[in-house]
Amino acid sequence: MMNAAQDTVDFSLYVRPANDGAATMDLAIAGVDCAACLDDIEGSMKACAGVTSARLNLTTHRLRLIWDPQIADAAGLVAALARAGYRAYPFEQSRVEAEEQARTQWLLKCLAVAGFAAMNIMLLSVSVWSGNATDISPETRDFFHWLSALIALPAAAYAGQPFFRSALAGVRTKKLNMDFPISLGILLALSMSVVETALHGTEAYFDSAVMLLLFLLAGRTLDQAMRRRTRAAAGNLAALKGETAHRLSDDGALVAVPVGALHAGDRILVRPGDRVPADGLIISGASELDASLITGETMRAPVSAGSSIYAGAMNFDGALTVEVTAAGEGTLLDDVARLVEKAGEARSRYMRLADRAARVYAPVVHVTAAATLVFWLLAGAGAHHAIIIAISVLIITCPCALALAVPAVQVVASGHLFRAGIYLNAADALERLAEIDTIIFDKTGTLTLPDPNVSNAASLAPDLLAQAARLAQSSRHPLAAAVARSAPQAVPLDGAEEIAGSGVRAMVDGVEMRLGSRAFCEAADETKPSSPDVSLIYLRHGERQARIEIRQSLRPDARATIEALRAKGYDIRILSGDRNEAVAPLAAQLGIASARGGADPAQKIAAIEELRAQGRKVLMVGDGLNDAPALAAAHASLSPITAADLAQAQADAVFLGDGLAPVAQALDIASQSRTLMRQNLGIAVIYNLFAVPLAIAGYVTPLIAAAAMSGSSIIVTVNALRMRGARKEKAVEPVRRTPPVALATRRQS
């Protein structure tokens, strides 16, 4: 982060030309948590010379800048934002996100058309209903019915598209979904109404058909809006994680560029303390890499010219010149990508609750309607009368409540997850999460924090450690960074000097303080570290000295979360790519009996397959590149936000923060929402138990149909909203709004 402010980054890849020679760029902004930020950010941008427009979107936390490239430049504007206290990173909308946006707009248009039609047709229908009860003339009724048809037919043709298309796709792939009975019901209601109108009948169902569309579209639009919001937030996080790489130009100059701008064949410099920005081959230099984000292995591995390295590894001691290779060229990545592809197949066959319900529901309803038709024909009713009753059975059973039952819960639940810092990737993830009975955790970066920390702080003198943290601020070495993390608010020491390969030193109280290697600190200590994955860094201040141990520590709430999960009856296991010696003590600490180390990606999949064969539903929680296939193979999967990109792409949801609590929360919300979904489906069935006999008996008029359908839809929606009330009482959600005091201090800084 400090790094981005010091370098001048070349953002040209993200800058697009706008009107009149101006330039424009979209930025994802971190730390936008209140309305005051709006004025803050837009104000500080407009104060910059050359900026013609700055508009912050508070929903997506993105800023669109338009400026005159003659006067201002992108890097300067990003730096100005950093001075105002906001970290920004250029952002390019992904294809998926653009599609989601287009779909949201489309659904909104359909919703508007259905709303317009429903309002106007209701106006006419209510007149007809009250007229039928009093003295409407047949001519006026016919006129109103034709007028309704004139509105309903084009409106349904437009607004019904989301359902018709999905139903057609379902028929083509021979996978019957809920949209099929919906589409059939709407089409039958409309065609019967047109025929009735032509025959001067007293009853038409135009209002039912259009109202059904309106309710269902409202559900889908909300669902889509929530999904889009989640996707935007996840996109921002990905953008803000986007580090810069140092590209060597042909003339030897070093240019800082966003990682997205790297191409295969580019040469980059990876400095000590940098994360490797892209996969590549080392051309020159030697160093040690911490590849725990990739393989889960916590021991550092030496690399030199000719070694392949992967994005995400942390470079320790030496500067490396690396030639970027295209994704998938490396052997490890190849393997992982191939395994991921194969592993994902099982999950893509998962059938959602609503579709399973539709599969049972549609045949039952259609058979009932056909039986009704036969019954009335045999009972001696005319063909016309029998058909009307049979179709009214189809209309009344048209699964309005059933189709809303699941999405309504989905919207409320994903809203809760969103506020708890859990972003859903897959639409059916909630239902799969609710079925979990076994949880497999990866160790490195999942049970432990992704970055190493000081592990023996308790045995160090607090004042010495505090000074060390201040001194460590001046070094980019990963071990120094770990010391610096022990006191995030520490102010760097003045006049600190870094000696490459040795350490940092500065004068403290007139005596030189050194932080670095054993030789640099002239430490007499000869003892080996207590465990192979512990790294040592030494501190000397005059006569005082200290040995600081650095290792990856458990997430702060890991123990409590694991215990809570176990109390709920989940079977918990560890499956790590790290050595057994590193896994065992941690498993003992957490009280997990089943722990296995040294597993490569294929073995992880095999372990999951074995559990699946036993009939278990496995949740995989992992972050490494090596976990990606396992994440795809498991019944459901979660990743922390610090996970490798490929792992995140495979996970059903990513969670924010240092804690492990979101795992328990996600399972909690998922099982709660499954209960509600089932309740809702139950309500829909009960509704049908009452409505269908009425329809079979021939008592359903358009008025009754309209009342019954909207009534059941509203009950189902209200039931879904109960979850909201229940969770508010618990008040487990973290406070997201920054209190005013903190705001004031940030403005000053």
Partner 1 sequence: MNILVFLVPVALALGIAALFAFMWSLKAGQYEDSEGAGYRILSDEDLPK
User: By the criterion CB under 8 A, which residues form the site for partner 1?
Assistant: 35, 38-39, 56-60, 105, 108-109, 112-113, 116, 119-120, 123, 137, 140, 143, 147, 151
Which CB sits closer to partner 1, 22 or 151? Answer: 151
442 catalytic, yes or no? yes
* Cβ–Cβ under 8 Å, residues 626 and 296: yes
Nearer to partner 1, 140 or 191 (CB): 140
For partner 1, which is the closer residue by CB, 38 or 283? 38
Nearer to partner 1, 53 or 307 (CB): 53
Nearer to partner 1, 232 or 636 (CB): 232
Which two structure tokens, joined as six digits, stand for 302? 């030496």
Judged by beta carbon, residue 106 or residue 375, the one nearer partner 1 is: 106
DSSP character string of 34-92:
SHHHHHHHHHHHHTSTTEEEEEEETTTTEEEEEE-TTT--HHHHHHHHHHTT--EEE--
Can you say whether residue 379 is alpha, beta or left, with left for phi > 0 and alpha for psi between -120 and 50 degrees?
alpha
CA proximity to 515, closest of 495, 534, 536, 540: 540
Q: DSSP labels for 498-553?
A: EETTTEEEEEETTEEEEEE-TTTTT----PPPSSTT-EEEEEEETTEEEEEEEEPP
Answer whether 621's CB lies under 8 Å from 643's CB. no
- What are the two backbone dihedrals, phi and then psi, of residue 76, each rounded to the nearest 5 degrees? -65, -40
Least distance from partner 1 to the Cβ atom of residue 319, Å: 44
- Strands 287-290 and 314-315, by their bridges, are antiparallel
Tokens for 9? 């980054």
d(CA 337, CA 67): 41
Tell me whether strands 244-248 and 535-541 are parallel, antiparallel or unpaired: unpaired
* Shortest distance, position 202 Cβ to partner 1, whole Å: 18
Q: What angle do CA 172, 178, 183 make, to 5 degrees?
A: 75
Give the closest residue to 486 by CA, choosing from 520, 458, 514: 458
- Alpha-carbon radius of gyration of the chain: 31
Task: Report which of 180, 125, 165 is spatially closest to residue 147, judged by C-alpha positions.
Answer: 125
- CA 480 to CA 539: how far, in whole Å? 11
Least distance (Å) between residue 77 CB and partner 1: 19
Q: Tell me whether residue 108 or residue 508 sits nearer to partner 1 (CB atom).
A: 108
Task: Name the minimum Å distance from CB 62 to partner 1.
Answer: 9
Which CB, 148 or 712, lies closer to partner 1?
148
d(CA 300, CA 297): 8
d(CA 452, CA 477): 12
Sign of CA dihedral 50, 56, 62, 64: negative
CB nearer partner 1, residue 113 or residue 426: 113
Closest contact distance (angstroms) between CB of 36 and partner 1 is 9
Identify which of residues 140 and 459 has a Cβ nearer to partner 1 in the complex. Answer: 140
DSSP 443: I
Task: Give least dist CB 192 to partner 1, A.
Answer: 24
Least Å distance, CB 29 to partner 1, is 12
Q: How far is the CB of 59 from partner 1 (least distance, A)?
A: 5
Q: What CA–CA distances, in Å, run from 75 to 7, 28, 257, 475, 745?
A: 9, 14, 11, 24, 26
| Other residues' Cβ atoms within 10 Å of the Cβ of residue 603 | 15
Instruction: Evaluate whether 33 touches 737 at the Cβ level (below 8 Å).
Output: yes
Please tell me which residue in 274, 317, 442, 451 is annotated as part of the active site: 442
Beta strands 453-454; 544-551: pairing state: antiparallel
Give the residue numbers annotated as catalytic, written as ranges: 442
